Structures are given as structure tokens and as C-alpha cells.
Amino acid sequence: MLIRAILEWDDEVNAYSATCPELNFVSSFGESREVAIENLKDAITLMLEPIPDYLLELADSREVVEMAL
């Protein structure tokens, strides 16, 4: 999977921020470009992990509806 990331240096915290706009602006940071990119990879991996089935199971009293805003 090829994903674009935006890297920016932040003078205030002396670190790089890494943001992925294609994945709902998942972001991370690091003291170097390489660390920021590795941290962003970890964040993306965690975001893309499947949700466990037990979290998807609904109690009988719940109703699922679709909404368009």
C-alpha cells in the first residue's frame, strides 16, 4: 500500500510531525524524520487493524441506523 505523508518540522517542540491526510489525518511525531515516519507507520498499522468481533456484537436492545448528513 502506498500512502502519502506530510512531514513538518516544529520549532516549538523541536520535533518532526508526520501526518497522513489520506487516512483521516492519522499523525505522529519524532525527533528525526526517520523516527517520525516509523511512528506514523505504527499509528497507521494500529488504525488499520481489524476491530475484534466482540466489539462489533450488538446487544438486543440496540438498533443500527444509517444517516446521511
Look up the domain containing 38 and give its range: 6-50
67 in a structural domain: no
Q: pLDDT of 6-36, one tens digit each?
A: 999 999 999 999 999 888 889 999 999 999 9
Provide the number of structural domains found in the chain: 1
- The pLDDT, as a whole number, for residue 63 is 66
Mean pLDDT of 31-52: 90
CA distance 36 to 17: 6
Q: Are 56 and 50 in contact (CB under 8 A)?
A: no
18 in a structural domain: yes
The secondary structure of the chain as a DSSP string is: -----EEEEETTTTEEEEEEGGGTTEEEEESSHHHHHHHHHHHHHHHHSPPPHHHH---TT--------
57 in a structural domain: no
66 in a structural domain: no
Q: Looking at this protein, which amino acid is placed at residue 14?
A: N
Mean pLDDT of 35-63: 79
Q: Which residue has the higher pLDDT, 32 or 45?
A: 32
